[in-house]
Structure 1
Amino acid sequence: MIPNTPIRPDRIAADIDALAAITEPGRPWTRRAFTPMFLEGRQWLEKAMQNAGAVTRIDAAGNLIGTIPGTRPELGTIMLGSHSDTVPDGGRFDGIAGVVAALEVARAMRDRGMVLEHTLEVVDFLAEEVSIFGVSCIGSRGMTGTRPAEWLDRTSDGLTLETGITQVGGDPRLSARRDDIKAFLELHIEQGPVLQNDKLDIGVVTAIAGITRIEVIVEGRADHAGTTPMGSRKDALTTAAWIALGVEELARALASGDAHFAATVGEFEMTPNAANVVPARVRMLIDARAEQREDMDRFIDELDRGAAAIAEKTGVTVSVPRIVSDNPPTPCNADLLEVLDAACETAGASHRRMASGAGHDTAWMARITRAAMIFVPCVDGRSHAPDEFAATDDIALGAAVLLDAVLALDSKLQGNT
């Protein structure tokens, strides 16, 4: 037990081990949304929530929610949680740590006889990871009224998303949007090495980076690889390589400032893709992430100019970079950041403020309520991999910070809308 807190690391470790055991055979740790393993994990979580004193339900969006009524429920709800689904062969802690930490906060309060004036809810959001339907954050988008209606028609192996939500206990015909949540907090593993490298306990997340995906098409000319002189070629791959290096150089320059920025050429398709043919066409998909929108705007502008300059130099046609998707950054609530900083001090946790380069359910919850999150360290920053690992004591300290923050918010939020 951490000194001066009812948070129990042994319970956290047991919970994570129990969920880790619910995985596809031979594929640790795989429990994707809408699969039998996911439903088995949900059954375990539902029982655990009930054992913590919560009344459980599945909302219309397919989220599992455990509710502990407050003494003054008219004040609204303080919500904690994350997600229990994983990527394929993903990790034991991504999302799971946040659900278990929220559950432990509820148990710790029960152990000490603490009852909030606000209602407390623990949530397991449906399908935060990219699902079998090719879309993510399905539950949090549903709870915030931002899930596109056309998504319900998306299919996977003959199953529609509408049917999938129904099968997990939701009702996609009904609205799940909430207006009673006064604050939402999420604990998550960092999925990066900053906290470990800086030897810090907690990252207080200032913003969730916006994600923009940009497609670039390079059109060259197929020729015989052995007979076409080097000076006569229109090699799409060579031009694409120059662009990829330019993306790397520009991203490094933008990342050298105080705000988070990253860009990756994550998809790369070449045709005809034959050893004896000069490449004729390349499709590139760039994933760019920015804490500040002005950095993304600068990246897009300089990518446009840079690609055009490279095309002029090589004599190969380069399309105007096309924005495939564009989600703006989401700042976390300033008042909650102050509460979390203070909670770190109360819990004796060393901490720093930092941005998240990954997307989270918190970004969608911020559409309807005050929302913020904290990071705990993970070994070598590894995530979405079988060897992803976070120490139990680090998660427990994060849970202690959440508990202190919840107690502070129960008083601070009274009278606020």
Structure 2
Amino acid sequence: MTRATIDAARLWEDLIALGAITEPGKPYTRRSFSPLFDEGRALLTTWLEAAGATVRVDAGGNLIGRIAGSDPGLPAIAIGSHSDTVPAGGRFDGIAGVIAGIGVARAFAEAGESLRHPLEIIDCLAEEPSEFGLSCIGSRAMVSRLDPPMLEMTDGKGRTLADALRAVGGDPGRLEEAHRSDLAAFLELHIEQGPVLEAEGIDIGVVTAIVGIRRIEIRFTGQAAHAGTAPMHLRRDAAYAGALTLARLRERAEQLAAEGGPYFVATVGIMEVWPGGSNVVAGRCRLVVDVRSSDMTMTDRFAEDLDAISRAAAETARVERSEIAVLSDGVPAVCDPALRTLIAEAAATEGLSAIDIASGAGHDAAFMAGICPSAMIFIPCLRGMSHTPDEYSTPDQLAAGTRVLLETVRQFDRRL
């Protein structure tokens, strides 16, 4: 037996190969529940099996490769992330974590270095917001938070999430079997998706906490009218209500963020108006607000303010606020202190610099923290860019993070 080491060149080759599976003319797009997503998973399955893993898809649609440990009574160490992308996204967000996990499994297998714990590599289903309006579908299933109403959500073609789940090998009728109570730890490597590590010349981010994300939909209903003949004082302009809400919620979000307490941001990522003609006063408007904080009380405060802001906007615009609803709600998660210590020690062992850092993005690890100790390793990315084809980390940065991941698994296996 030799000591397991990461093959940096192979790691990079795998990442590039998976990234090449994309919609033509729209790199890098591999949406969950699409034929390209299935193609990517077929490639992941080949690599997992070559590393000695037994591969399955659980009831929640998660692709899981498992390598037995020497002590069958021990719970598994899981490494996971996701292989789906946003439209015209990047090759690194999520993918780097799955590729790193496979790289760790391959390194242990090729060196003949056995672990006491079983090792699982998990490609969590649909971490990115899917066509059904829901994110983190696979990790929700593993923590029993994929609720029946969610299974009835539909995509633009009228397909239900339950049907889509069956198509990728899951079983919505047996979701209880996806619940995990047998994991010793969950580890996720990820690009930072922010500029701090690169700007400060730091190799590794040891994530302290992951924000919770609440998405709120607001609909205004007014009266469509001719843009030239409807007097301003008689208009019932739904777009005006939407614009007022957007501006005022931004101001309130800035106030909360400036308080200097928990991390807080809010974004209007979707604003739609109907019927959408340049010469038509909008009869309807829809906003989707993305609210993120490391403290649920901040999210709750903002939600109350948003309710008042949107009601006032509707009154000013002389329209009806026809709906305000929570589309999804994820709780913040604190990363496990013992795992964070192991990650910091592993970085030091590898001669790499490391700092503590909070995550402003949501991750599967946030859900997994509800059932087992969980932690994340960040690596730098170019100018903090993510969710864009320009997203990039260097081969050396990916390899460095994967070496830290491997050493963290090794030390957890020996000590805990």
Structure 2 Cα separation of the partners of residues 226 and 121 of structure 1: 63
Which residue of the partner structure matches residue 263 of structure 2?
Answer: 260
Match of 2:128 in 1: 129
Greater CA deviation, 91-100 or 340-349? 340-349
Q: Distance in 2 between matches of 1:299 and 1:185?
A: 31
2:186 is matched with: 184
Partners of 2:132 and 2:35 lie apart in 1 by 16
Instruction: Tell whether the 8 Å contact from 2:52 to 2:67 is kept in structure 1 after alignment.
Output: yes
- Verify the 8 A CA contact 2:80 2:123 in the aligned structure 1: yes
Q: CA deviation at 1:399?
A: 0.8
Q: Which residue of 1 aligns with 2:297?
A: 294
State the 1:308 CA deviation.
5.8
In structure 2, the CA distance between the partners of 1:167 and 1:192, relative to structure 1 (3 Å rule), is same
User: Secondary structure at the residue paired with 1:16?
Assistant: helix
Give the counterpart letter for 1:51 in structure 2. Answer: A
| Mean Cα deviation higher: 160-169 or 115-124 | 160-169
CA deviation profile, 1:249-308 (whole Å, cap 9, x unmatched):
222233332532111122223456555565565443322111112222332333345556
Q: Which moved more, 1:382-391 or 1:115-124?
A: 382-391
Match of 1:384, as an amino acid?
H
Q: Where in structure 2 are the equivalents of 1:39-78 lying within 5 Å? A: 39-78=38-77
Secondary structure of 1:185 counterpart: strand
* 1:163, distance to aligned residue in structure 2 (A): 4.4
Distance 1:391 1:258, change over 3 A: farther
Letter in 2 for 1:180: D
1:408 paired residue among 394, 408, 411:
411
1:396 paired to 2:399: yes
Amino acid at match of 1:165: L
Tell me how far apart the structure 2 counterparts of residues 224 and 60 of structure 1 sit (CA, whole Å): 52
With over 3 angstroms needed to count, the CA separation of the structure-2 counterparts of 1:284 and 1:23, relative to structure 1, is: closer
Question: What is the CA deviation profile of residues 33-91 of structure 1, one whole-angstrom value per residue up to 9, with x for unaligned ones?
Answer: 33332222222212211222223223233322222211112121100021112223322
Within 5 Å, give how 1:328-367 maps onto structure 2.
328-367=331-370
Tell me the SS of whatever aligns to 1:131. coil
> 1:307, 1:171 → 2: CA distance?
39
In 2, Cα distance between the equivalents of 1:318 and 1:66? 51
Residues 1:150 and 1:344: Cα distance change in structure 2 (over 3 Å): same
Task: Report the residue type matching 2:55 in the other structure.
Answer: T
Structure 2 segments unaligned to the other structure (5+ residues): none
Matches of 2:43 and 2:225, distance apart in 1: 60
Cα shift at 1:318 = 6.8
Q: Distance in 2 between matches of 1:199 and 1:81?
A: 26
Letter in 2 for 1:245: A
Q: Secondary structure at the match of 1:75?
A: coil
* In 1, Cα distance between equivalents of 2:158 and 2:283: 36
Q: Tell me the CA shift for residue 361 of structure 1.
A: 1.4
For 2:85 and 2:148, the matched residues in 1 are separated by 24
Residue 223 and residue 21 in structure 1: after superposition, are their counterparts in 2 closer, same or farther (change >3 A)? closer
Aligned residue in 2 for 1:206 = 208
SS in 2 for 1:73: coil
Task: For residue 15 of structure 1, report the CA deviation from its aligned partner.
Answer: 0.5
Q: CA RMSD in A?
A: 3.0
The change in CA–CA distance for 1:306 and 1:391 in structure 2 (over 3 A counts) is same
Percent identical among aligned pairs is 49
**Larger deviation, residues 401-410 vs 278-287:** 278-287
Counterpart AA for 1:13: W
Whole-angstrom CA distance in 1 between matches of 2:43 and 2:21: 9
**Partner letter of residue 411 of structure 2?**
A
Contact 1:219 1:316 in 2 (8 A): no
Residue 370 of structure 1: aligned partner: 373
Counterpart contact for 1:216–1:318, Cα < 8 Å: no
The number of residues matched between the two structures is 409
Give SS of 2:11's match: helix
386-395 or 211-220, larger mean C-alpha shift: 211-220
Q: Does the 8 A contact of 2:4 with 2:113 survive in 1?
A: no
State the TM-score, normalizing by the size of structure 2: 0.86
Q: Counterparts of 1:276 and 1:38 in 2: how far apart (Å)?
A: 41
- Following the alignment from structure 1 to structure 2, what is the Cα–Cα distance between the partners of residues 76 and 307? 48
2:245 corresponds, among 222, 236, 243, to 243
8 Å CA contact 1:214–1:321 kept in 2: the answer is no
SS of 2:73 mapped into structure 1: helix
Distance of aligned partners of 1:245 and 1:164 in 2 relative to their CA distance in 1, 3 Å threshold: closer
Q: Who is 2:288 aligned against?
A: 285
- Give 2:14's aligned residue: 15
Indicate if the aligned counterparts of 2:220 and 2:322 stay in contact, CA closer than 8 A. Answer: no
Give, in angstroms, the shift of residue 12 of structure 1: 0.9
After TM superposition, the structure 1 stretch with the greater mean CA deviation from structure 2, 240-249 or 362-371, is 240-249
Could you tell me how far apart the structure 2 residues matched to 1:254 and 1:77 are? Answer: 40
The residue type paired with residue 400 of structure 2 is: L
Mean Cα displacement is larger for which, 161-170 or 395-404? 161-170
Q: Secondary structure at the match of 1:335?
A: helix
Number of the residue aligned with 2:143: 144
Partner of 1:37: 36
- Corresponding residue of 2:382: 379
Closer/same/farther in 2, CA of residues 165 and 294 from structure 1, 3 Å limit: closer
How high is the TM-score relative to the length of structure 1? 0.86
The 8 Å contact of residues 142 and 179 in structure 2, kept in 1 or not, is answered as yes
Residues 246/77 of structure 1: CA separation in 2 closer, same or farther (3 Å cut): same
Change (3 A) 1:26 1:221: closer
Alignment of 1:315-334 (within 5 A): 316=318, 319=321, 322-325=324-327, 326-334=329-337
- Closer, same or farther: CA 267–160 of 1 in aligned 2, 3 Å: closer
